[in-house]
Amino acid sequence: MKKALLIFAGLLVTALSFAAVAPEDDPKYGKGAVPVDENGSVYFERSLPVPQGMTDDQCYDLLIKWSKGHFVSPYVHASRVLNEDASSRRFIFHMDQIIVFKRTGLVLDQSNVEYNYSVAIKNGQITLRITDIKYRYEEHREGGGQRFTAEEWITDKEAYNRKGTKFLKSTGKFRIKTIDMKDKLFLETIDAVIDNL
């Protein structure tokens, strides 16, 4: 019986140690997870092939129609088309939505996030890109809250402590939720293509 309890306790400790991986140690959020271009600007990009049996034009028509419907969903505060060019099969939406860090009966910690979302289809390839990310945090507070860019807040340099071992409390939560937002949007866009095959 003692032996069984010891084995169970060992398994429990092992399981808890795997479950307790800090976000900064998770490759999804860790170093290198927020790319920066040659100008120091944060961007997220994903490329995938246009599905077999679908032309570039069909894919563009599908995604522009889907985007115009999708970006009026409840989690999007406001959106507008910045550019729509059917001849080059490229469009850009400017988004303004809310990311929630913590919601309880007593606490609501959230921020508005603005960004540009572009979709380009060329030579059988779909390229999804998020750029120009800006935050408006606690803007309803007296004094107007805080405004900052992704470059000032979620890069490896800004999100980690001086030793580069742990996320800072103030910036780490923005990095995590921005990456989650990016993953969700890319996945929803890909699903929109696959679901219409």
Taking only the tens place, the pLDDT of each residue in 112-134 is: 999 999 999 999 999 999 999 99
pLDDT of residue 86: 94
For residue 95, CA distances in Å to 54, 61, 134, 152, 185 come to 28, 20, 10, 19, 11
Cα three-residue angle 24-26-29, rounded to 5 degrees: 65
Q: What is the pLDDT of residues 45-73, one digit of tens each?
A: 999 999 999 999 999 999 999 998 888 76
Q: Provide the percentage of residues in the chain whose pLDDT is more than 70.
A: 85
**31-45, 67-81, 83-97, 125-139: which has the minimum mean pLDDT?**
67-81
- pLDDT of amino acid 13: 44
Domains belonging to the chain, first-starting first, are 21-195 (3.30.530.80)
The whole-angstrom separation of Cα 151 and Cα 40 is 7
pTM of the model: 0.84
- Cα 81 to Cα 95: distance, rounded to the nearest angstrom: 9
What digits encode the pLDDT tens for the residues 155-184? 999 999 999 899 998 899 999 999 999 999
Phi/psi of residue 2, nearest 5 degrees: -60, -40
pLDDT number for residue 37: 96
Coil, strand or helix at 47: strand
* 63 Cβ contact partners less than 8 Å away, ≥ 6 residues apart: 91, 119, 121, 126, 189, 192, 193
Structure tokens at 18: 């795997």
By the 8 A CB rule, do 154 and 178 touch? yes
